[in-house]
Homo-oligomer: A and B are copies of this chain.
Amino acid sequence: MARPESVASGPGSRALVVDVIRSSGPISRVELTAATGLTQPSISNIVRRLLAEGIVREGGRVASGGGKPRTLIEINPGALYAVGVQLGYESMTFVATGAGGGIVARQLVDGASLDSPDEVTDRLVAQFDTFVDAAGIPRSSIAGVAVVAPGPLSADHGAILRSPTLRRWEGFSLRDRLSDRLDVPVMIDNDAAAAAVGEFWTRRVPRTETFASIYMGTGLGAGIIIDGALYRGSSSNAGELGHMSVDLDGEPCFCGNRGCAERYASPAAVMLRAREQAGSLADLGLLFGDDTVAQDFDKLARAAVGGHSAAEALIERSARYLAAAVVSFVNVLDVDRLVLAGPSIAVAGSVYARAVRDRLTESAFARQSHDVLVELATNPRDSAAIGAAALVLQSSVAPGHGPRLVPPRQRAAAR
């Protein structure tokens, strides 16, 4: 049955056409008709507008059997750039991509830490200017910037609602503050959701696949792609794998629930547990600071992969809890493919992938019908920032029903 937005003349078809052109490379109008199922007049209309806006361009021609050669349409890579920013407690990652999704610049800077949202916004704005200037991207060709962060967010207000690591940000309308300060459109979204979009685009997965990516930063989340589009749910807070309870009477979580998978599987949880047995990990030089979870976890993961038995036990335990949550997640969504992404699977990703694969093989409800593919992200550390840039491109071509790009506000002349 149709989604409301996906009628021939609506934004859905436009997004579909751009997606197909992006993933196929140069393609003729006739091939586009076949690939999208849209009518030829619809394709002609959409392509005409995309050409006028400079989003696509005409490339070469190919001979067609007997008839006149067909003109190929391709993404105009230099026409539009998108900037994605992953805002974390420990680091901020900036990525810029062209309209085709290829990365043109990347930078890692200090994260939000315990600084006030105002201070961090100042840094983010300054960093954005530096980043864009250094990359040599003309301001006028930036489609927008998406800042992605963990935790529930308000799609309407562009605010981070609650986050265990960004506690001071509750109710701070980051999107509006940025749109006061930046001269490009701005949007705010969830990091795990962004990563799913990025992984889906990068992989050229068939649109009919039910696809999800599990995102492990210092916390734990997921993004869900259904029929080629990010599934957002009612308030853009779908995919909270980390807040599926794996033990209904388990440890209380900041979210209000008990036994959340994140309380056991996430790097933050692993480091809390590691601290309790610091003796057996003394040789690893762990710092156990609030702001060193990511680097401590990397050390621990490296030691685990290297055969350090105490470290191994901690990572295996984390993987076991993750796998338990993933089976429930898969039983609800009946997923075809799962990608593990995020900075925290960069080192010991194989341990997590194996645990997830094994538990799915043993106990996924639909395992007699089909396997679930479990893959690792190619570039797990940058998944969310790359995905954020992809969200900007999608949103600028055809806004969906989730967070939107908001145009820059009138800026004070004094700046």
Contacts and interface: CB of A to CB of B under 8 A. Distances in A.
Closest 8 A-B residue pairs measured CB to CB?
A233-B334, A8-B8, A1-B229, A2-B6, A237-B366, A235-B369, A256-B363, A248-B324
Interface of A: 1-10, 12-13, 15-16, 19, 36-39, 42, 152, 154-155, 161-162, 207-210, 222, 224, 226-229, 231-241, 243-248, 255-258, 320-321, 324, 327-329, 331-336, 362-370, 394, 398, 400-401
A243 B363 CA distance: 10
Q: How many copies of this chain?
A: 2
Contact of A4 (B37, B236, B258, B332): B37
B9 A6 contact: no
Nearest to A401: B208
B4 A3 contact: no
B37 A232 contact: no
A42 B365 CA distance: 41
Please classify the interface of chain A as helix (H, G, I), strand (E, B), loop, or mixed, using the class held by over half of its residues.
Answer: loop
Contacts of A257: 327, 331, 363, 365
A209 B234 contact: yes
Contacts of A162: 368
B4 A207 contact: yes
Contact of A365 (B209, B222, B229, B240): B240
Nearest to A244: B328
A12 B8 CA distance: 11
A332 B329 contact: yes
Contact of A243 (B37, B232, B365, B394): B365
Contacts of A321: 248
A3 B13 CA distance: 9
Contacts of A38: 7-8
Nearest to A368: B161
A255 B155 CA distance: 38
26 contacts: A1-B394, A2-B12, A2-B13, A2-B16, A2-B227, A4-B37, A4-B207, A4-B227, A8-B38, A8-B39, A9-B37, A154-B368, A154-B369, A161-B368, A233-B335, A234-B336, A234-B366, A235-B366, A235-B370, A236-B334, A237-B366, A238-B332, A240-B365, A243-B331, A245-B246, A258-B363
B1 A239 contact: no
Contacts of A332: 222, 224, 238-241, 244, 329, 332-333
Contacts of A366: 152, 233-235, 237, 240
A103 to B, nearest CB: 22
